[in-house]
């Protein structure tokens, strides 16, 4: 980086978002961390500051457009600019279709789709003004794979892919890129909780269940947060200046296997 750059990350209090925040702070970015769990966001920012970086924390529900605008305004006032926005916060839905309630659909749509839109929208005017910016969204390999489980989740992640493509076209003329990162199975609190529940329903250990899942992956390995950080770093770098509207799977080959 020739001069200091800044990132904003949602869902930065846990899993993929926290790992991204710490990684980008290590690269020298100033990092604003937002999470529904304010304390978790603060812990990430504290870790950044303890390592000598610049970290801000915000408690934020991304499904609230007014609050998201307010937080973005505070971030822009403090940092003066925003270079990379990572709309990453997301929620899983019940696995069993027959357990899904209308409120589960509402939550999935509100956080996974509208929350991504509100996050991006809050920073787009500033990026257009500077004719500079990188936007990343977190979709999922499940946004491409039909399945009988976690249906609201799959549907909303497919929507994130289409949203990412549309936004890429909207912002192309300003030199702003928009790309989706599509993680495969990544051992974060969200995934571990899902694995725990599914394994116990099947009467097997969590480790046995995760081994089974890894065995079904062509490369026989789960995705790590380091794998996702490597892609995010590249997409934010000058080398990716002309890559936009892409949804890139980091999944050990699952999506290309039949
Ligand atoms: N872990 C995986 O295997 C996997 C695979 C594909 C996609 N993803 C996606 O990656 C993203 C990050 O998930 P993760 O695995 O790190 O999960 P995680 O549960 O560890 O972290 C998600 C974070 O988002 C926050 N969050 C939830 N609702 C929010 C809201 N309304 N406003 C602000 N923050 C909110 C949570 O508090 C949590 O800190 C999600 O979009 C998820 O769907 C994860």
Q: What is the pLDDT of residues 5-16, one digit of tens each?
A: 999 999 999 999
Strands of 117-243, DSSP E: 134-138, 177-183
Q: Which residues line ligand 1 (CB under 6 A)?
A: 10-11, 13-17, 35-37, 40, 60-63, 88-91, 111, 115, 138, 140, 183, 185-186, 188-191
Active site residues: 153
Closest atom of ligand 1 to CA, residue 17? 16
Q: Which residues pair with 138 in a beta bridge?
A: 181
CA distances from 150 to 9, 24, 111, 131, 145 (A): 25, 31, 15, 38, 11
Q: Please provide residue 111's backbone torsions phi and psi, each rounded to the nearest 5 degrees.
A: -85, -50
How far does Cα 173 stand from its chain's mean position?
24
Tokens of 254: 């699952």
Q: For residue 239, what are the contacts with CB-CB under 8 A and spacing of at least 6?
A: none
Q: Which CATH architecture has domain 6-185+224-250?
A: 3-Layer(aba) Sandwich (3.40)
Task: Give the tens place of pLDDT for each residue, 182-228.
Answer: 999 999 999 999 999 999 999 999 999 999 999 999 999 999 999 99
Q: Using a pLDDT cut of 70, give the percent of the chain over it.
A: 99
The SS3 call for residue 200 is helix
Residue 26 neighbours by CB distance under 10 Å? 14
Kindly state the percentage of the chain with pLDDT values over 90. Answer: 99
Tokens 């603060």 locate to 42
Domain spans of the chain, in order of start: 6-185+224-250, 187-222
Distance between Cα 174 and ligand 1 center (Å): 29
Q: Is 102 exposed, middle or buried (0-12, 13-18, 19+ CB in 10 A)?
A: exposed
Q: How far is CA 169 from the centre of its chain?
A: 20
- Measured CA to CA, the distance from residue 122 to residue 117 in angstroms comes to 9
């Amino acid at each position: 980086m020739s001069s200091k750059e800044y990132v904003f990350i949602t869902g930065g209090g846990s899993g993929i978002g926290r790992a991204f925040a710490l990684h980008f702070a290590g690269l020298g970015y100033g990092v604003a961390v937002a999470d529904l769990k304010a304390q978790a966001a603060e812990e990430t920012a504290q870790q950044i500051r303890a390592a000598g970086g610049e970290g801000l924390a915000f408690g934020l529900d991304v499904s609230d457009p007014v609050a998201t605008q307010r937080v973005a305004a505070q971030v822009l006032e403090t940092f003066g600019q925003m270079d990379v926005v990572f709309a990453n916060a997301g929620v899983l839905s019940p696995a069993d279709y027959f357990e899904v309630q209308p409120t589960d659909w509402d939550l999935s749509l509100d956080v996974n789709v509208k929350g991504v839109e509100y996050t991006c929208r809050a920073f787009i005017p500033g990026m257009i003004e500077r004719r500079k910016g990188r936007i990343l969204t977190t979709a999922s390999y499940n946004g491409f794979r039909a399945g009988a489980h976690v249906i609201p989740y799959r549907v909303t992640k497919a929507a994130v892919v289409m949203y990412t493509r549309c936004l890429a076209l909207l912002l192309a003329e300003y030199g702003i890129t928009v790309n989706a990162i599509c993680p495969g199975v990544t051992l974060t609190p969200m995934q571990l909780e899902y694995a725990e529940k599914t394994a116990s329903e099947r009467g097997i250990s969590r480790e046995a269940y995760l081994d089974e899942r890894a065995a079904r992956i062509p490369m026989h390995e789960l995705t790590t947060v380091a794998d996702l950080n490597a892609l995010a770093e590249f997409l934010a770098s000058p080398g990716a200046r002309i890559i936009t509207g892409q949804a890139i799977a980091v999944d050990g080959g699952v999506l290309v296997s039949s």
